[in-house]
Structure 1
Amino acid sequence: MSESTTWPFEGDAKRDDPLANLRIPVVTSFNPQWKYVAAYIAVDTSPYSWGSQERPTGQEAAMLASFIDEYKQHWFNERYQAKLLERPLDVDSGCNTTVFVKYGDNDWGYRLTSWIYGPTYVPVGPNLRGGKYDEDKQPGPLTLEQVMDRRHSVGDEPMKHWLDWKASHPEVFAS
């Protein structure tokens, strides 16, 4: 994107973050204004930031980009997928943005922007685990892939379309 191009996501997603080059919005609010397919929340300068202290690794960034691609391929036809490419990030008025947070090494959570009750992220962060806000009683950290599996689950098992996607992208999902 050239310097003269306006950034429609000003104040919502960081323009100069390297993840934006992978079409991953890096937001500073757990409820971003735009309806992104998915986003990663980074710390801002506020002492009350709900964002990640750590950055995704290269492999994790590839997984986040793949998560967005899978969503687009699963839910949108080719014509609409092409239309999404007209903007630097993938947004759709019907999206319930999945916001990913990284608590630490191989320790991730997520939230949907439609959530208004319960914990902010699932699983909760390390400082809340085992406490009254830990509805899942999730004892330990989950990898990004495990969190993505949970996001694609109904009951205890991930949906077939997600498992098929991962199987067809072994360069991203090695496990």
Structure 2
Amino acid sequence: MTAETKAWPFGTDAIQDDPLTALRIPVVTSFNPGWRYIAAYIDVDTSEYSWGSTERPTDREAAMIASFIDEYKNYFFNAWYQGKLLDRPLDVDSGCNTTVFVKYAEDDWGYRRCSWIYGPTYVPASPRSPNRDGAPLSLEQVMDRSHTIGSGEPMQHWLDWKAAHPDIFTALEA
């Protein structure tokens, strides 16, 4: 980071001194942040609503979110632009549809895309929601779900990324 980027450009949209920020994971204060981060985590203690997480990610889960962001950059951006992203303390791009992760409880996660305007705030919905159906999903399962289009199966580039990072991701039991 250069001297020009040392000032926190995100205002109150993301928490500057949160430990996750050191991993380039924005901890956002709204379920629909103003900046277009690649991905973010919402903490209930800083959220403007009660839609934030009730507990913090574990170290392994934090590594998974950081890897999720890295996979996005690797898949969509060339090396020059990936370097350009380092001009800011968090990864933002005008073309991003921010994925916001929420942790309801241990091994119970949800996500949303900031472009969503209909349906539940997060998928799967909060355990407190009458719209919740199905069993809780782990962070890895939620990430897999966020990488599906149509078929319900995760896209191959995501499966390849996970396979190349077995220290972060583990195969789920069938």
Deviations 1:79-119 (A, max 9, x none): 00000011100000000000000000000000000000000
1:143 aligns with 2:122: no
- Aligned alpha-carbon RMSD (Å): 1.7
Q: Give ranges in structure 2 of 5+ residues lacking alignment.
A: none
**Match runs of 1:1-175 below 5 Å:** 5-44=6-45, 48-128=49-129, 131=130, 133-134=131-132, 137=133, 139-154=134-149, 155-175=151-171
Shift of 1:163: 0.2
Contact 2:31 2:47 in 1 (8 A): no
Name the aligned partner's letter for residue 147 of structure 1.
Answer: V
TM normalised by structure 2 equals 0.92
Q: Give ranges in structure 1 of 5+ residues lacking alignment.
A: none
Segments of 4+ moved more than 6 angstroms: none
Name the aligned partner's letter for residue 141 of structure 1.
Answer: P
* 2-structure distance, mates of 1:46, 1:174: 30
Q: Secondary structure at the match of 2:84?
A: helix
Shift of 1:48: 3.3
Name the aligned partner's letter for residue 88 of structure 2.
Answer: R
Contact 2:60 2:168 in 1 (8 A): yes
The number of equivalent residue pairs is 168
Contact 1:28 1:49 in 2 (8 A): no
* 1-structure distance, mates of 2:8, 2:157: 33
Deviations 1:53-82 (A, max 9, x none): 100000000000000000000000100000
Shift of 1:44: 3.2
Shift of 1:5: 3.1
Question: What percent of counterpart residues are identical?
Answer: 68
Sort the Cα spacing of 1:37 and 1:45 in 2 relative to 1 into closer, same or farther, 3 A.
closer
Q: Please identify, of 139-148 and 44-53, the stretch whose mean Cα deviation from structure 2 is larger.
A: 44-53
* 1-structure distance, mates of 2:48, 2:156: 41
